[in-house]
Amino acid sequence: MDDEQYWMQRLDEYLHHREHVEGKAKGTVEDDKAIVGQWITFALEQPTDPAARDTPLLDYWVTEVKDLVPGAQEGYRAHVRQWWRWNEEGSVVAETAADVDPASLVLSARLARMVTEFRRSTGYPHAGDEENLRARERFEAILRGLPTMLHSERQLLKEVWRRQSGADYGGPGQIVQLSSFVDRLNEAGWERLRGQISALCFSGEALADRLETAVGEVDGMGWTTATRLAAISDPQRVIPNYSLYNAGRWAGKLDNLQMLTDEGLLEDEHMARAEQVLRDHPRNRPSGRAVVESNDLLLEILRPHFTDGDSADTWGMRTFLYWLSERCLERQGSTRDADARGDGELDLPTLVTEFRAQSRYPGEDDHEHLMARERHESTLRSLKEMGFENRQSLKSVWAKSNQNYGWCGQQPSLDRAVNNSTEESWPRIRDSLAELCFGAGELEGRIDDAVSSVGGLGYLAATKLPAVCHPEDFVPV
């Protein structure tokens, strides 16, 4: 990238700021584009820094080079002085290729170019974005009202994560377990939950610790919901992307870092830090540190492109990352289509043959996974007769181990449900899980019923149990 390309990119950022932040009329922005663009070209020819305040050179340009009449001269001066002021105050510090490492400048400009393309192609921000920001304010008001919210009013809390047809500040998906937990609470339990959620949202403890505590202590509270509550209550800190891993258009934060790394959009320092975060937090090992470290690095990377100087537009960051994920998926799809049309087209049988040859499937580990499935099925088939004193053996079905027929992730809420069950409540849990695994109704309905009735049971674990019991009908994914 040469100097002219860099400064044209800077001009694009300036024009966006004038239109969307300062609210200038379209005609004014078009004049900015024409006049400042000409000034940048002239300044680079001298050569000099187009953002540096050089009044004598500006006077020479409008009088001698442009040969403008006095009234037009002043208009040109005003546009260029405004450009200078923006660079001096600016949301992003203007640096020329001589000021920074050239490779770093190219990467920074590439990311800025992608942000500009995102704004142009989507029209961000628009009315729908404003509605989502207003929804966040409504949800925050509910959370701030928790200390005085009565037990009889507790259904209001569910509005913060309930699926809605309109703006919802980024839907968190179905939160069945936590909603059921709120429904079942007595007054003492409600008072305890109010304090736990208030501590997550507004206490002075480190955010990673608050997230860990909430997920570890609140029945039905998963990482997605805990992150959403933190994002609602602290929009300047937490980007409202609530998942860590979620391949596809709605990529999670660790997937976002991997994408920015793969696309070559990070400067060397950010690249090294992103790679470290990805090493420290492998997939399927969520933690408060994973949420905070991925969030904070994304915030640092994107803040220069989504700020008015005083506040960060974390909703814009989230929307941009989803847009970029979709673009990457579309490009990958185009590449696959092109490959399929070429001479090296691969059909499914060929791919399966290559898979077996390269992986040597089935191997010893695969056989051990299948034997683990048989053990888990035996445990589940004994559910109906499993006494209260033997209930801990059930946890082996979803516990992490080297060979477990596919791990469904940590299940702290489900572990607590088993641990805290009583002789009176254990039969209900036992029978609900047995019905999920071996009932006669439609599987979809059995899964929904089990998730609703067994506190702490999520859809991942509720999917693994039938896969264990019916391997001929259910792919263990």
When comparing pLDDT for 70 and 392, which is higher?
A: 392
- The helix (run of H) or strand (run of E) holding residue 348 is helix 348-359
What digits encode the pLDDT tens for the residues 212-261? 999 999 998 999 999 999 999 999 999 999 999 887 778 899 999 999 99
282-317 as b/e: b if 16+ CB within 10 A: eeeebbbbbbbbbbbbbbebbbbbbbeeeebbbbbb
In the Cβ-directed half-sphere of 126, how many Cα atoms lie within 13 Å?
9
Q: In this predicted model, which residue has the larger pLDDT, 184 or 410?
A: 184
- Check: CB of residue 260 under 8 Å from CB of residue 302: no
Task: Give 79-138 pLDDT, tens digit per residue.
Answer: 898 898 888 764 333 333 334 444 444 445 678 888 988 998 898 998 999 999 999 999
- Name the H helices within 304-345: 314-341
Instruction: Return the pLDDT at 309.
Output: 67
Confidence of residue 174 (pLDDT cuts 50, 70, 90): confident
What is residue 362's predicted lDDT score, i.e. its pLDDT?
A: 73
Q: Is the pLDDT of residue 336 over 80?
A: no
Report the range out of 62-71, 245-254, 255-264, 341-350 with the highest average pLDDT: 255-264
In this prediction, residue 364 has a pLDDT band, given cuts at 50, 70 and 90, of low
Q: What is the pLDDT of residue 453?
A: 82
Tens digits of per-residue pLDDT, 107-118? 456 788 889 889
307 DSSP β-pair partners: 312
Are 411 and 456 contacting, i.e. CB atoms less than 8 angstroms apart? yes
Instruction: Name the residue type at position 187.
Output: E
Question: What integer pLDDT is reported at residue 100 of this predicted model?
Answer: 40
With a pLDDT cut of 90, the percent of the chain lying above it is 42
| Rg of the chain (C-alpha set) | 28
Long-range contacts of 152-155 (CB under 8 A, 24+ apart): 154/182, 154/185, 154/190, 155/182
Per-residue model confidence (pLDDT) at position 91: 36
Q: Look at 240-244, 260-264, 410-414 and tell me which has the smallest mean pLDDT.
A: 410-414
- What are the boundaries of each domain within the chain? 3-97, 128-328, 364-469
Crossing angle for the helix pair 187-202 and 127-144, to the nearest 10 degrees: 130
Task: Return the pLDDT at 358.
Answer: 64
pLDDT at residue 105 in the model: 41
Above 70 in pLDDT, residue 367?
no
Name residues whose C-beta falls within 8 Å of residue 131's C-beta, 6 or more positions apart in sequence: 166, 167
pLDDT category at 153 given cuts 50, 70, 90 is very high
pLDDT, tens only, 8-22: 888 988 898 888 777
Confidence (pLDDT) at 329: 84
* Torsion sign (Cα): 160, 161, 164, 167: positive
Tell me the pLDDT band of 165, cut-offs 50, 70 and 90: confident
Give the pLDDT confidence score for residue 318 in this predicted structure: 96
Q: What is the Cα–Cα distance from 455 to 428, expressed in whole angstroms? A: 11
Contact 413, 458 (CB under 8 A): yes
* Mean pLDDT across the chain: 84
Q: How many H helices and E strands in the chain?
A: 20, 0
How far apart are alpha carbons 312 and 176 in whole angstroms? 32
Task: Using a cut of 0.85, tell me whether the model's pTM lies above it.
Answer: no
pLDDT of residue 101: 45
